[in-house]
Amino acid sequence: MPITLKHLTLAVSCLAGSLMLQPAAAATPAEQDILRLHTGLPKKSMDSLFSYTVEWRQDEQQAYHVTGLSFLNAEKYFDEDGRDRVTKKIITSLKDGMIQLDPKLRGINLTQTNDLPQLKIANKAGYSLTYVMFRDYTNQALSFDLQDKSFSADGVKLAIDLVYAADVEYLEKFTAHKSQTASQGTIEIQIDQQTPVHIKTDGKTTAELEKELAQAVVQASLSSSALVPHIVNKDTRNNKPFDGSEVQLLNLAAKRISIEVTDPSLGVLMKFKFQDENATVKVAEPRFMMGVFAVAIALVLGYFGFRSRKKPL
């Protein structure tokens, strides 16, 4: 049977249609990016802020972020299961923040394993973590790890930003003056099982304390630029613009970092920046495939036009 224009057009249409309907593969596997927080107990006998922001990106597409905000009081979390309940509370706060997102765009899982005081943040398939920022004004002891990988091996960068608690807890109608120095206490940082670094805070500014930490902590450096962007939240109690300096660990060859700030006038922002790369197999856009289809049809028509001109009259 001779091949006609109708046959060729139908074949090209089927080919183009099948290419356009190819599904996009979720190239990033689930739990490629994991960050675990081991919680402590709040030390302030008043409602103090603990919040955290998680951002993730859909493969080759838009990034989304959500913030969970909790108020913790030492008088409510002091018994044996206090740390477990702290973990449950902060997990619930972020899940509440995700309600506004379409379920298909919620690219992370939040879990607490066996009621342990441990929060696990992990990406879902087809998504990847870009950064996580924790803001602690409760003076609890915190530890962070990637479950079984070192920060440097996984390409995760860290930053420690010391801030004044009054910058978020300050209420102008009750207090006439905000202190611009620490009061009294210590900052302890431990990397893996190394000897902890202790810094006294007495009467020092956050800039002075960060400079001391950068000199005392191995692999640390002082930076005048923020590792992750400042996120503006509608709740002003959660807003803390970058103050001009922070301690950064951009290539930390360790699996765990722990920090405890005992000075009630200070808070700490812990920042974790993941590699924002997606090795996905790109699928051609439908408008591109329509262009391919149009070119194919034009070639077919040109072929038959050429043949018709060659036929003898």
pLDDT confidence band for 2 (50 / 70 / 90): low
174 occurs within a structural domain: yes
Comparing CA positions, the residue from 195, 242, 247, 193 lying closest to residue 221 is 247
Are 137 and 170 part of one and the same domain? yes
Are 16 and 89 part of one and the same domain? no
Are 211 and 288 part of one and the same domain? no
pLDDT of 288 higher than 50? no
Task: Give me the percent of the chain exceeding a pLDDT of 70.
Answer: 74
Q: Which two tokens stand for residue 218?
A: 């191995």
Q: Which segments within 39-117 are labelled E, that is strand?
A: 48-58, 63-72, 108-111
204 occurs within a structural domain: yes
Are 184 and 245 part of one and the same domain? yes
Are 210 and 267 part of one and the same domain? yes
Residue 254 confidence (pLDDT): 97
Are 238 and 297 part of one and the same domain? no
Residue 113 confidence (pLDDT): 83
Q: Which two tokens stand for residue 178?
A: 């905000």
- Gap between the Cα atoms of 67 and 45, Å rounded: 24
- Gap between the Cα atoms of 265 and 174, Å rounded: 16
Helix, strand, coil % (nearest 5) of the chain? 25, 30, 45
Are 297 and 193 part of one and the same domain? no
User: What is the rounded (10 degree) CA torsion for 181, 163, 262, 44?
Assistant: 100
235 occurs within a structural domain: yes
Going by the DSSP 8-state scheme, the letter that residue 97 receives in this structure is: H
Sign of CA dihedral 170, 203, 257, 138: negative
3-state secondary structure of 126: coil
Residue 181 confidence (pLDDT): 87
72: Cβ–Cβ under 8 A, 6 or more apart, which residues? 42, 47, 48, 50, 86, 89, 138, 140
pLDDT of 282 higher than 50? no
Q: For residue 298, give its domain range.
A: 5-23+283-308
- Gap between the Cα atoms of 121 and 146, Å rounded: 9
- Gap between the Cα atoms of 42 and 50, Å rounded: 9
H or E element: which one contains 166? helix 166-169
128: Cβ–Cβ under 8 A, 6 or more apart, which residues? 28, 32, 33, 56, 57, 59, 107, 274, 275, 276, 277, 278
28 occurs within a structural domain: no
Tens-digit pLDDT profile for residues 78-133: 888 999 999 999 999 999 999 989 999 999 999 998 888 999 999 999 999 999 99
- Gap between the Cα atoms of 4 and 307, Å rounded: 12
Mean pLDDT, range 26-37, rounded to an integer:
93
293 occurs within a structural domain: yes
- Gap between the Cα atoms of 63 and 130, Å rounded: 8
- Gap between the Cα atoms of 291 and 289, Å rounded: 5
Residue 106 confidence (pLDDT): 95
pLDDT of 167 higher than 60? yes
Q: Indicate yes or no: pTM above 0.85.
A: no
8 Å CB contact between 204 and 186: no
Are 126 and 205 part of one and the same domain? yes
Are 200 and 148 part of one and the same domain? yes
Are 10 and 87 part of one and the same domain? no
251 occurs within a structural domain: yes
Are 117 and 139 part of one and the same domain? yes
- Gap between the Cα atoms of 179 and 176, Å rounded: 10
29 occurs within a structural domain: no
* Residue 236 buriedness (CB in 10 A; 0-12 / 13-18 / 19+): exposed
Q: Domain tally for the chain?
A: 2
143: Cβ–Cβ under 8 A, 6 or more apart, which residues? 37, 38, 256, 257, 258, 259
240 occurs within a structural domain: yes
Are 111 and 52 part of one and the same domain? yes
